[in-house]
Amino acid sequence: MHSFFRRLLAVAVVLLLSQFTPVWAAATLRYTLAMPAPQTHYFEVEMALAGFSKQFTDVKMPVWAPGSYLVREFAKGVEGLTAKAGSETLRTEKVAKNTWRIYHPKARDFTVSYRVYAFELSVRTSFLDAAHGYVNGTSVFMYPADEVKLPSTLTVQPAPGWAQVSTSLKPVPGGAPFTFRSASYDELADSPIEIGNQKILSFEANGTPHTVAMFGTVQYDEARLLRDMKEVCEEAHRVVGQNPLDRYLFIIHNIDRGTGGLEHLFSTTLSVSRNSYSSEAGWKGFLGLVAHEYFHLWNVKRIRPVALGPFDYDTENYTRMLWVSEGGTEYFSNLIVQRAGFLTPDAYLADLSNGIGRVENTPGNKLQSAAESSFDAWIKYYRPNENSANTGISYYDKGEVIGAVLDLMVINATNGDKRLDDVMRYLYAQYYQKLGRGFTDAEYQDAVAKVAGRRFDDFFRNHVYGTQTLDYGTALGYAGLKLTSTPVTTDAVLGANVSPAGGKYTVSSVVRDGSAWQGGLSVGDEILALNGTRVTDDPNKALVGAPVGAQVAMLVNRDGQIKEVTIPLVAGTTQRYRIERLPNPTEQQQRVLNKWLPVTKQRGRSL
């Protein structure tokens, strides 16, 4: 071909390909976050969009925060959305509950401005007051529809007098103060921000710098805090044996009543009661929370069910695997604290006994499987009511005890060679590193089978997807242990919780198949009298020692009307569980126990 025609063809190809260049390849997105009057609880957000060539652009606010499986409708906090191209005001239209349409037929570059009311201090939401600001990206930052992969920059303008901005987002090299970059909206949304005058601490774990941003006035031993957090983090690294980090941030809110934690890609937010650091039990709880959220770095953020990424921010993302993602993380977090030397093996077994009790003493455990609990998280777990314990089970609690039983089964099947740690390592290598995706329910079972050298299909069918009681005896027996249970009481019990608020004794919950359930006592009933005697204390106390089979005449106020109900007293069903060591374990049992609960060096501060 003649060189002229070759050059002409090359130009034509370039022009043709340019017609199909994705919008985001040329587009840019810059956010500015301001808080000029923090006492009003309003963040001010500006989005500067450039290179958007369509007639209009839709911008969206997520309806939920990954890691917290509830549609929270974050758009409800948005006010005063406007858009401009230069000095020209653009037409805007809200076209869905969380979607605004910006019409810009003559402009490729424009800005969108809006305010967000933020006054709910939890790890799942955003908050702003005169003391500090906290941002969860999904509840503050919108994104251009269909452009979640678009990189962006963020400039934070702290309120007057505030000097710190803590986030796991990386600073823009040579950029303005408090200017950060994100590779996509997913990263921006998954990188919470603490703004104020928080205290900044640091330590190194596994060669990676870790920062701790402490908000709130609180008394604690700083050296111990950093030392113990470092030990927990390093023990967590040993489970999978792979380090996905180049930095990590703990944002810790020290408040009156802590609300837990939420995991993120390179960080976590912990909400901790400020008196937790003053007792050994509180310290153990704090370290357990650190271990749980930190282990999510692997389990959920990288080792994940297929439904949990890439995220659909518009609706629920259903999975039946939260018993692994959350319950399994709770199982590993308690092991991490034990392996790090903060719990003796016997202390760990006592905690696990309590976990078994929480599961087996919940009536809903017989009705809802761990898989169903996971799937229904969106409508049940975060919206509990007075009947929840009768109809469902926590995927945290059930997943933890499933993890313990399954771990013992794998250890025994491999003669003490493998355990659930090896399952996590396989999932990390196969699905996160090699395939770059999550795993299906079946692939998780396949991974367990691959590590164990045998399949446990009946176990999954009966105990994960079914509601049959876990065979604790057999599993614990592999390690030379046994589970005992004794009734908390052999007397009759009312089978109802009663609140004394306002000097009135009002039923707050009723236990399935218990005395109150059978007698027709209802939540909301104010109990006035028992057997003709006026009630002046919790009716449960008045019934202590009452014989099983007795009938109690109860006078109640129900919706302003006086009614009499007859309660047939039945025995309480609550059991107290205890894991005990067998007196003469076999060599195989000792091998399994040593693999499961290795005896580690104690830290000189028994919890």
At 601, is the pLDDT very low, low, confident or very high (cuts 50, 70, 90)?
low
Report whether pLDDT(189) > 90.
yes
The DSSP H or E segment spanning 240 is helix 222-240
600 by Cβ neighbours in 10 Å (0-12 / 13-18 / 19+) ranks as middle
Q: What is the mean pLDDT of the chain?
A: 94
Distance, CA of 394 to CA of 382 (rounded, Å): 10
Residues of the chain with CATH 1.10.390.10: 198-297, 320-466+589-601
The mean pLDDT value for 112-137 works out to 98
Percent of the chain with pLDDT over 70: 95
What's the pLDDT at 602?
61
Q: Check if the beta carbon of residue 411 is closer than 8 Å to that of residue 597.
A: no
Distance, CA of 501 to CA of 530 (rounded, Å): 19
Report whether pLDDT(38) > 60.
yes
Tokens of residue 259, six digits:
């609300």
pLDDT, tens digit (0-9, with 9 covering 90-100), for 355-383: 999 999 999 999 999 999 999 999 999 99
Phi/psi region, residue 131 (left: phi>0; alpha: psi -120 to 50; beta: rest), is alpha
In CATH terms, the superfamily for domain 492-571 is PDZ domain (2.30.42.10)
Give me the residue label for tokens 């009947």: 387
Residue spans of beta strands (DSSP E) within 19-91: 28-34, 42-50, 56-60, 78-85, 88-89
Residues of the chain with CATH 2.30.42.10: 492-571
Tokens of residue 279, six digits:
């007792």
Distance, CA of 478 to CA of 40 (rounded, Å): 60
pLDDT, tens digit (0-9, with 9 covering 90-100), for 525-581: 999 999 999 999 999 998 988 899 999 999 999 999 999 999 999 999 999 999 999
What's the pLDDT at 603?
59
At 14, is the pLDDT very low, low, confident or very high (cuts 50, 70, 90)?
very low
Domain 198-297 class, CATH top level? mainly alpha
Residue spans of beta strands (DSSP E) within 218-266: 248-255, 260-263
CATH number assigned to the domain covering 23-196: 2.60.40.3650
Fold for 320-466+589-601, please state it: Neutral Protease; domain 2 (1.10.390)
